[in-house]
Structure 1
Amino acid sequence: MKKNQLSIYQLFSLTVATLIIGLFWGIQNTYADTVATPQQSVFFNVSTDSSSAEQSTETPTQQATATVSSSSSSDSTSSINQNDQGQSASNKTIDASSKSEATTPAATQKSVVDDQAETLSSSTDSSVTETNSSQSVSSDSIVNNQSSSQATTASQFSQSQSSADSTSDVSTADSSSASVTSSAAKSDGPSDETDKDQITVSGTADSSDPTIKQSSSNPLLNWLTNLTSAGAASLIYPFVTSRQGSHLISQFRTLLSPTRYNIDKTWSDLDQKYDPDYTKQFYTEAKNWYDNEVTKQTLTVPFADGSGNASATYIAHPGSTKTIIYGQGWTTEPEWMGYISKIFYDMGYNVLMPYTRGQNGSDGEFMTFGYKDKADWTNWINKVDQINGPDSEDILYGQSLGADDALEAAAQKNLPSSVKAVIADCGYSTIPSLLYSLYTGAANKLNGYTSKIGWNLNGSIPLVPYDQFLSNLNKINHFVQGFNLDDASGLTAVKNSTLPTLFIATADDTFIPDSETKALYNASNSEYKQLWILDGNVGGHASANNAVLAYKQHIQNFLNAVENGQTTPANTASPVVNTQNAAA
């Protein structure tokens, strides 16, 4: 058994203890939330309205549509970059105005940012059409890969394209120039509907949105569901956050999906436009490289709060003073991180892979979702800077939970100046938003069974209303770890960081919807930020790296722009030169 790893008996004891605590809180707070809401009880009310059932079971990803809008004057612009694999691509720009409106879905292009900048007037291979509110767009891809009944507000352009590309990208150097927004509300939905990608624990308590504030106005029923919700939160919490519990969940997920960590899976179902042959070649070599060839070092630093030590695997690139600090996802295996790390090693970077508190070689019994890890990252940055000397440069990168670790670390006021940029791959906006997505997904699956007997759940899980479940989970976390779930927020982090930031997601991610990445991009206060959504079949959650050729090129071009100082607001309108997709 690993150091500090909980035994099955200890996990059982912890579960029982948290269950008792949860039930106690449930009793104590029985009448805390008895304000009437528009939603009636879904536990004893069977609905047979099929149209209502269809609306209520729609997921946040299905409801979200991306729109490109301008928050500055009518001459503000944002560039959408286009890159065809193996072919040259036309440079495309959008002249966006806050007055422009369209009733067609927002257009998106797939592109790779290069480090060469040109002026708008010198772009000869691009056809730019200034559009009014009545103009529509013809394009070969849509960022969200979704459709919506709500009209989207955007400036559009018309341009022909010779072949399908591999990526969709929205890039900007000024946070006031362009933003990508998600619409969670249907055109016929309630006016008080909450943005599902910006949910907070504190906001849930005061919400009037019936899809969020699901607890009943009936005091007796409210008392009952508060108890059952506290029990559910108490049972789930140890399995989500504790070392042993999360390990068991990871094993169970692997049991359900045996190919989860099969390197061959990275290219077996990949769309042809993402060059699966190249992916096969790369990861076949990467596995052998990490397992048998490269020299790996184990490094440690003390936790910032002095409660233990963090562990990491370090791969030094000969002669390099540039380092990628790679944040671990929830239960991600170190070997899997190692295979992906070759992407950055081939770019000439050292790679440091810290293990999150409560995972692998790091101490701690619970994961803190970046709240405590962010300070530990400062220690890692200082450690790397000591190794590489005064010329040390660091890039913070992560996938899933690791993406939020990177974003939260970047938002610290005492961040060392050696940190130059952040790359956040499929991070979540807030923990309550992620929980809402998972909750509604489970409710919709359950509704698939109950609807057969005429019982429509209306997006709720019987006896476990979302708002009460979230409230009790937050109380348990505060009792066990001393912080609220709102304290570990990617949305708050991006508002407090001005570092150049690249946001990545895939449209086929069913674990963390790409709309949450768009919300992070929207809220980001970065002076230079890019949003890159891969559409089609990529592989689901944390799978953008499966499209390894485009992934390498896109990240490399972003880092080139950072390194060459092409990240100032003045570069907002600069067109982008295509980079050829020659196989390495």
Structure 2
Amino acid sequence: MKHLTLHNTIISFGIILTAAGSIFFTNQPVHAQSANQVVQTTQVQPKASQVSSATTNDQSSQSSNLADDQSTVDTTTASVNGSYPDGPTNDSDSASSLSQNASSVPDSPQNNNSANQADSSIQADSSDQSSDTSTISDDDATRQSVTSSDMDNSNSQSTTVTSASSTSSADQSESSTTVDNAQTDSSNQSSTNNKSYQVSTPDDTKPTTTLSETAKDESVAASTDTKTTTPETATTTNTNDNITVPSANQSTDQTINPTINGLINNLVTDVTSFAGAAIAYPFVFTRVAQFMSDFRTLLSPDRYNIDQMWNDLDEKYNPEYSKAFYTEAKDWYDNKVAKETWSIPFYDDKSKYAKATYIKNGNSTKTIIYGQGWTTDPNWMGYISKVFYDMGYNVLITYTRGQNTSDGAFITYGAKDKYDWQNWIKKVDETNGPNSQVILYGQSMGADTALEAASVPGLSPSVKAVIADCGYSTMPALAHSLYEDASKSLNDITSKIGINLNGQIPLLPFNKVLNSLNALNQFFQGTSLDDISGITAVQNAKVPTLFISTADDAFIPTSQTQTLYQNSAASLKELWVLDGNVGGHASANNAVIQYQQHIEDFVAKAEQSNIQDTMVTA
């Protein structure tokens, strides 16, 4: 009888984890309550000799910047045609035995968030705006200036944040005030940047669409009417955004590594955690995830309804323009634009192929390589691709291993796709010739894949920038964030009968579930969960990078994008966070006017930065 009871307990709590898993990895847009959050943009130009005072050109619709994922990268230069020495051999490789005790999984390399990060001297942007100024100082040697233009606290749109290692004295007007800004250090952050916050109202907006000129003009007028608010303090990161498998096992946080007394209790939770992870794994890391996504769509038929692009969009982002744009984009992708099917062999298994849809844009030699999110609908990606097509880019919409038409049984979250992307880049370069220019782009999991691809040694010089929209810092950090959400939801139920779960799910301690998932991934894919790390990726990528997030993203916390930005070793980096109601996770593109303009502005800065780097190396 006791054995039967234990069996039922294992199954029941396995089902709980499965349910939690489906919540964890959903792409359903949801809104976080963020009444006072503001949009932020950050620009860094590390090399003092190269710093030119960046000019804010007709900032039409900026909102605020942020981004994503990879724990270990190869240290040897990899040929796009060859194999990568440290990479796994194929999807079925086993790096560890499944019988290995889940709680004793070998430690993966720890993230070193200060690695390869040099001190930099950065010059703050200046803008021709009539403004009030507030200076926020971290210490006697560093100041942070806050500039606002005709601010209306009830209608905020964008904030520009520029990091600086040295600040010049500024003339203070009567309305200037100086306050202390308490920065919270990330546990793995070895240094802190002094930051000046500049709030600016867009002067002009130049969306590139095929909509009527009247619609464009009305959209521009509507967007330039919005005003901005000043952030009271600098945004900070969450120390849990740096979680790895080893650090989870060493944590003193009871929600991460709870104290479990007694041999029997430990054995029971070992079994229940592994059982729950075994049930959840297929729905998260294999092609079965698509069935879960289809089931969710069946329950929520409007999930991929094009109306979602503008229904929840704040007025300041001009939903009417977005409605016109995406209505046309749907018809354009479904019925008008010519599409080609491309394929490349897996880097580690030439018998299997990754697939993509290529949209050629006239004689353009500029291409966006677009990474797929977890179970993201290909047609949905097609509608969003018009954002870039109208900016003059060819678009290559790639499908990750284990999703859509690409081969493979497992979803690698970029751990293997990053090497496949080197062949995508090579194919684009061969198609467009010596003038080929490539931008790596993705949302959610696709953002991390783009970041990871940019970190691979031997990256083609044709890659000019990375745009990472709502990526995660590490896979364990994302798992913990979603575990917290699930435990809170469960606690809302149990608290009604007087049971407080204290941030835990009964019989499913986070660290043991994480260890079990890690063991399963090592067995089936030959990679650790710590191989899925945006932090490690950005520490090893030098390409100019734009990080994007939205304050109402309740799936991947904005703080994870901030952590990616802070750890980035990019030659130029910006962080942009859109405030207010945008549409939830992976929805920044809903504000299409601002999205296009902000990307155009960043790419222009990246081009200038690349020119300066070339001049210096020459």
Residue 261 of structure 1 pairs with residue 304 of structure 2: yes
Residue 355 of structure 1 pairs with residue 399 of structure 2: yes
Q: Map residues 230-379 of structure 1 onto 2, 5 A cutoff.
A: 230-243=274-287, 245-306=288-349, 307-379=351-423
- Residue 391 of structure 2 aligns to a residue whose secondary structure is coil
CA distance in 1, matches of 2:261, 2:237: 29
Residue 182 of structure 1 pairs with residue 221 of structure 2: no
Conservation of the 8 A alpha-carbon contact between 1:61 and 1:515: no
112 and 221 in structure 1: CA distance in 2 versus 1, 3 angstrom threshold = closer
- Residue 549 of structure 2 aligns to a residue whose secondary structure is strand
Q: 2:545 aligns with which of 472, 484, 501?
A: 501
Residue 408 of structure 1 pairs with residue 452 of structure 2: yes
Task: Point out which structure has higher relative CO (alpha carbons under 8 A, 6+ apart).
Answer: 2
Q: 1:90 aligns with which of 121, 129, 133?
A: 129
- For the aligned residue pairs, the C-alpha RMSD in angstroms reads 4.5
CA-CA distance at 1:169 after TM superposition: 12
Q: 1:99 aligns with which of 120, 128, 139?
A: 139
Corresponding residue of 2:603: 559
Corresponding residue of 2:5: none
CA-CA distance at 1:242 after TM superposition: 1.1
Q: Which digits, 9 at most, give the CA deviation of each residue in 1:224-252, with x for residues without a partner?
A: 11110100000000011111x11111012
TM-score (norm 2): 0.68
CA distance in 2, matches of 1:201, 1:328: 25
Q: Which digits, 9 at most, give the CA deviation of each residue in 1:502-523, with x for residues without a partner?
A: 0000111111111111110010
Conservation of the 8 A alpha-carbon contact between 1:397 and 1:423: yes
Q: 2:523 aligns with which of 473, 479, 483?
A: 479
Corresponding residue of 1:9: none
- Residue 504 of structure 1 aligns to a residue whose secondary structure is strand
CA distance in 1, matches of 2:587, 2:455: 26
Residue 224 of structure 1 pairs with residue 268 of structure 2: yes
CA distance in 2, matches of 1:155, 1:376: 37
Q: Map residues 413-432 of structure 1 onto 2, 5 A cutoff.
A: 413-432=457-476
222 and 426 in structure 1: CA distance in 2 versus 1, 3 angstrom threshold = same
CA distance in 2, matches of 1:221, 1:66: 47
CA distance in 2, matches of 1:378, 1:71: 27
CA-CA distance at 1:206 after TM superposition: 1.4
Conservation of the 8 A alpha-carbon contact between 1:425 and 1:504: yes
Corresponding residue of 1:397: 441
Corresponding residue of 1:54: none
Corresponding residue of 2:430: 386
Conservation of the 8 A alpha-carbon contact between 1:508 and 1:539: yes
CA distance in 1, matches of 2:200, 2:422: 47
Q: Residue 90 of structure 1 aligns to which amino acid in structure 2?
A: Q
CA-CA distance at 1:65 after TM superposition: 11
CA distance in 2, matches of 1:218, 1:61: 42
Q: Residue 212 of structure 1 aligns to which amino acid in structure 2?
A: I
Q: 2:571 aligns with which of 523, 527, 538?
A: 527
430 and 94 in structure 1: CA distance in 2 versus 1, 3 angstrom threshold = farther
220 and 568 in structure 1: CA distance in 2 versus 1, 3 angstrom threshold = farther
Conservation of the 8 A alpha-carbon contact between 2:43 and 2:575: no
Conservation of the 8 A alpha-carbon contact between 2:43 and 2:573: no
- Residue 389 of structure 1 aligns to a residue whose secondary structure is helix
Conservation of the 8 A alpha-carbon contact between 1:341 and 1:351: yes
- Identical amino acids, percent of aligned pairs: 51
Q: Residue 203 of structure 1 aligns to which amino acid in structure 2?
A: S
Of 267-276 and 246-255, deviating more is 246-255
- Residue 323 of structure 1 aligns to a residue whose secondary structure is strand
Conservation of the 8 A alpha-carbon contact between 1:215 and 1:225: no
TM-score (norm 1): 0.71
469 and 101 in structure 1: CA distance in 2 versus 1, 3 angstrom threshold = farther
Unaligned runs of 5+ in 2: 1-9, 15-31, 63-126, 149-155, 161-166, 183-191, 203-223, 614-618
Corresponding residue of 2:503: 459
447 and 349 in structure 1: CA distance in 2 versus 1, 3 angstrom threshold = same
CA-CA distance at 1:408 after TM superposition: 0.2
497 and 161 in structure 1: CA distance in 2 versus 1, 3 angstrom threshold = closer
CA-CA distance at 1:182 after TM superposition: 2.3
Q: Which digits, 9 at most, give the CA deviation of each residue in 1:515-550, with x for residues without a partner?
A: 111110010011210000001100001000111111
CA distance in 2, matches of 1:466, 1:77: 47
CA distance in 1, matches of 2:411, 2:454: 19
164 and 360 in structure 1: CA distance in 2 versus 1, 3 angstrom threshold = same
- Residue 300 of structure 1 aligns to a residue whose secondary structure is strand
464 and 387 in structure 1: CA distance in 2 versus 1, 3 angstrom threshold = same
Conservation of the 8 A alpha-carbon contact between 1:266 and 1:539: yes
